[in-house]
Structure formats: C-alpha cells, structure tokens
Structure 1
Amino acid sequence: MPTLLHIDSSALSEGSVSREVSAAYRAAWEAANPGGTVVYRDLAAEPVPHLAADGITAGFAPAEHRTPGQQQAFELREQLITELEQADAVVIGTPMYNFTIPSSLKAWLDQVILMGRSAGEQPSAAGTPVTVIASRGGAYGPGTPREGFEFVTTYLEKVLTGMLGLEVDFVVPELTLARVNPALAQFAEHADASKAQALKDAVARAEAVGVRVAA
C-alpha cells in the first residue's frame, strides 16, 4: 500500500496555518488512497536531535569500525532516511521563523541528507513528490519590499531538489499574522484569501499525487 510521510515543524500546536494546510493535504491524500499508510513526525512535539559529531563521522565510517556512539547516532539517521525512501509522497508543513525554516526542520534535514545514499549522484528517494506548505506571517513574494528576505522556499528548493532529487511543489499561505497583529490588520482579507487558496491548492496537489500513487 502507498505511504505518505507527513512532517510538521510549527512550534504552535494550535493556530498554526502550516499545520492546518498540511492536515488538509493529508486528508485529501488519504481519501485518494484508502488503506494507505501515513508516517507522521511532529518535529516540535518530538524534536529530532541536531546532527552531532558521532552522526557526522558515522556516515563515513564502515559499519564494523563504528564506535558505540557512532552506531547509535547512525541508527537514527538510518530510520529517518528509510522513512523518506519508503514514502510514495511527502508533505512538509513549515512556518517562516526569522526569514527561514524552524531549526527543528533543519535538524531533520541534516539527519536525512547523507552523501552517497539519499544525496549525491543517485539520490535514493529521487523523484518522490514533495509538497511543502510554507506559511509566513508577512508578504515576501516577488515585488514586495521583503522579497530578498525569503529564505524558506529558496533554501528548501536547493536542498530538496538539488541535493535529494525530490520533486517539489510549494503551497504558500501569506500574511498569516494579519488576524492577530494589529499592524497587519489592513491585510486581513488578503490573508483569508491566501489561506483559502492554499487549502484549495494543497487538496488539489494531494489528489493529483494520490491518484498517481494509486495508479
């Protein structure tokens, strides 16, 4: 049966637009794949440890030469990489924190990126469709004053496509703080429209991916 890898990284358990939209994607994917499996990782509730020396060096050491610390660190990397390799589709929910992704998502990426396996000339999960729900409290699109401060989609495009060989689409709900930040209140209607479009786009993407996987 097909498998969806669902990752959330917002620190907010409630009121998170990235979580709401990724959940809509998941529901639509499950409807297109009844009986499918979902592997869920909430990187805020259960953080993946940041990559440390043992994890780095274990990636280049033969299994028989690894220290106990290296072996333990590599077992986590092995688990996370295998989850990605076994997924038929991936959805990642990420807000923008200080112009880029949460450190929890960066930690997951650092654990998963392993040259010679998941990354390199023949990435082991190459071609897997990935939908990134990239929410942001303000507006960072082309032509906006802060266009040059956007390091979420620009970074993830390079890493997910350029290193891991994944097929990436972005769904971007903007101005998510307009309903809670008085300074952005004038953009509330735009924020509502952006969120509604993001939900629609996420469902459409999930249905398209789900049908392709099911076929």
Structure 2
Amino acid sequence: MATLLHIDSSAFPSEASSSRAVTDAFRKTWQEQHPDGTVIYRDLAANPVPHITADAHTAGFADPAAHTPEQAAAFAARVKLIEEVEQADAVLIGAPMYNLTIPSTLKAWLDNVILFGRTAGEAPSAQGTPVTVVASRGGSYAPGTPKEGYEYVQNYLQAVLVDMLALDLDLIVPELTMAPHNPAMAELVPLFEASRDRALEDAAAKAKLLTTRLPA
C-alpha cells in the first residue's frame, strides 16, 4: 500500500488558504487512486514541531550510547520525523511565501529532517522519493516580473529538497493570491483565478500521474 506524507504550513485555515486548497485537491485525488493507502498528515500551524536545539543538533553527530538524557529525547523526536519521510512513497508540502520565504514552521520541520549521514550526504535515505510542493504567493515572482529577484522559496526548496535530500521535486505555483483582497490588485483578479484553477488541475493531474510510479 502506498503512503503519502502530507505537510501543510499555512497559518490560515483551509477556507482561507490557497496552498491548503491545492494540497487538499492533490490529497483527495491521491486517496481516490489509493483507497487502501496511508496518509500521514502534519499541520505545522496547528501542531508545530520544535525548532532545532543544541541537544537535537549535536545528538545527530554523536554515538547514541553517549547521548545525554536531553539529547536522547530531542533526537528521538527528530528520528520520528525522519522516519516519516523515509517510509513515504510520496511527499506533499504546502509552502506559502511569507515575507519572501517559507513559513518558520516549515523551516523548523526541515531542520529536524535534514541529518547528514542519513537523510543528507553521500547516500540520502529517501533519495528519489517524489515530493510535490505547492508554493503559493500573494504576488508574482515569475521570470521577467519586477519581483523576480526576490524569489527565495523555490530556490531554497530546490537546494534543500533536491541538492541535500535528493528528492524528486515537482512544483505547483499558485500566484497573485492577494488579488481578491487588495484593491490595488483588482485588475489582476482574472490572472489569479486562472492561476488558481491551473494549480488545482495540476494537483489532481500530478496525483494521478504518481499512481503509475508507486504501489497501489
């Protein structure tokens, strides 16, 4: 049976979140394709994981037999998150842009999951696992736009998810999500609606496509 690890990080509930709407569409299609599969869900806004601590960090490079009680407890929490990635057949991440980058809750999750010698390094333990990222943003940072140089979400996640964890990254990018709420962006609402509809369609299509690559 296939296992999907679904991570949401939007601070907003589903009815007010563009990224959650798209990850929900992906997950719904996934579950239709894998009715007997497993979904491991983490809502990092509702239940944030701990930010990396000195004990959690140093424990990753020390002999477990030499761990202090504090290191052992902190590392056990990291290992649980790491094992969820390693056991997943596919990963789905909602990563809205906040102040030009990802939410701090998602950064905390990544800091816990990245462990050199296990998930990162010469032989990453989840290498090749497909990961679909919904990188929503209030404006547009596409090539050729005035804000192109401020795009730090896709660049960062490419470096972390692909270059470090060796996952197989696919991006869905709903843009201009602030257009319906900002009067100054009113003329961009049709472009927002087109981007939203395309993202929802892409989510369903990508979830179906993974069916051909993964166990039923």
For 2:103, the equivalent position in structure 1 comes to 102
Q: C-alpha separation between the residues in 2 aligned to 1:55 and 1:214?
A: 34
| TM-score, length basis structure 2 | 0.98
For 2:7, the equivalent position in structure 1 comes to 7
Q: Report the secondary structure of 1:135's partner residue.
A: coil
1:123-181: CA deviation from partner (whole Å, max 9, x where unpaired): 00000000000000001000000000000011000100000000000000000010011
Q: Report the secondary structure of 1:38's partner residue.
A: strand
Deviation, 1:39, is 0.1
For 2:145, the equivalent position in structure 1 comes to 144
Q: C-alpha separation between the residues in 1 aligned to 2:23 and 2:211?
A: 14
Q: C-alpha separation between the residues in 1 aligned to 2:51 and 2:12?
A: 20
For 2:192, the equivalent position in structure 1 comes to 191
Q: C-alpha separation between the residues in 2 aligned to 1:94 and 1:156?
A: 9
Q: C-alpha separation between the residues in 2 aligned to 1:135 and 1:110?
A: 21
Are residues 1:117 and 2:122 paired? no
For 2:57, the equivalent position in structure 1 comes to 56
Runs of 4+ in 1 over 3 A off after TM superposition: none
Deviation, 1:212, is 1.6
Kindly, what percent of the aligned residue pairs are identical? 60
Q: C-alpha separation between the residues in 1 aligned to 2:6 and 2:171?
A: 15
| TM-score, length basis structure 1 | 0.99
Q: Which runs of 5+ in 1 are unaligned?
A: none
Deviation, 1:214, is 2.8
Deviation, 1:183, is 1.3
* Alpha-carbon RMSD: 0.7
**Do 1:32 and 1:211's aligned partners in 2 also have CA atoms closer than 8 Å?**
no
Mean alpha-carbon deviation: is it higher for 129-138 or for 179-188? 179-188
For 2:185, the aligned partner's letter is: L
Mean alpha-carbon deviation: is it higher for 63-72 or for 205-214? 205-214
For 2:67, the equivalent position in structure 1 comes to 66
Q: Report the secondary structure of 2:93's partner residue.
A: strand
For 1:28, the aligned partner's letter is: T
For 1:91, the equivalent position in structure 2 comes to 92
Deviation, 1:122, is 0.4
1:57-108: CA deviation from partner (whole Å, max 9, x where unpaired): 0001111100000000000110000000000001000110010000000000
Q: C-alpha separation between the residues in 2 aligned to 1:27 and 1:15?
A: 18
The count of aligned residue pairs is 215
For 2:10, the aligned partner's letter is: S
Are residues 1:129 and 2:130 paired? yes
Equivalent runs, 1:158-169 vs 2, <5 Å? 158-169=159-170
